């Protein structure tokens, strides 16, 4: 069955370190998204991609970057982790012609 996976599921890192969260989907979807989820804020869009080599900023993109070198993967990089980036991060994907998104299980990131 097609799926979307995230790794690691839990990560603890120190302030200032670079961190990369992986997202891999086997749906063959063109669209991929990264969100962060924080209490009281719901889901906030960080970055998204509509295809290979395409990336776009979401509403909370500062301090984050993505690159899309193939259809299956959209890694999220925190250039210099900050305590404010402690959150649960979700990756999602969708077909280019339809809009329902399929979500990964999430990565809980703690920045100390």
Interface residues with other proteins (CB under 8 A) are 33, 35, 40-43, 45, 48, 50, 58, 90, 92, 99-106
Helix (H) / strand (E) element for 36: namely strand 31-38
At closest approach, how far in Å is the CB of 23 from other proteins? Answer: 11
At closest approach, how far in Å is the CB of 5 from other proteins? Answer: 10
DSSP 71: S
At closest approach, how far in Å is the CB of 69 from other proteins? Answer: 21
Tell me whether residue 75 or residue 102 sits nearer to other proteins (CB atom): 102
Tell me whether residue 6 or residue 85 sits nearer to other proteins (CB atom): 6
* Listed residue (38, 25, 59) closest to 108, CA to CA: 38
Tell me whether residue 15 or residue 52 sits nearer to other proteins (CB atom): 52
DSSP 60: T
Counting Cβ atoms within 10 Å, is residue 99 exposed (0-12), middle (13-18) or buried (19+)? Answer: exposed
């Amino acid at each position: 069955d097609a799926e979307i996976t995230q790794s690691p599921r839990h990560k603890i890192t120190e302030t200032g370190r670079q961190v990369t969260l992986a997202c891999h989907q086997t749906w063959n979807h063109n669209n991929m998204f990264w969100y962060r989820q924080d209490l009281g804020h719901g889901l906030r869009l960080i970055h998204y991609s509509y295809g290979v080599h395409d990336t776009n900023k979401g509403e909370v993109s500062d301090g984050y970057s993505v690159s899309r070198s193939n259809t299956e993967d959209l890694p999220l990089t925190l250039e210099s982790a900050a305590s404010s980036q402690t959150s649960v991060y979700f990756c999602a994907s969708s077909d280019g012609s339809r809009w329902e998104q399929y979500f990964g299980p999430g990565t809980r990131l703690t920045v100390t």
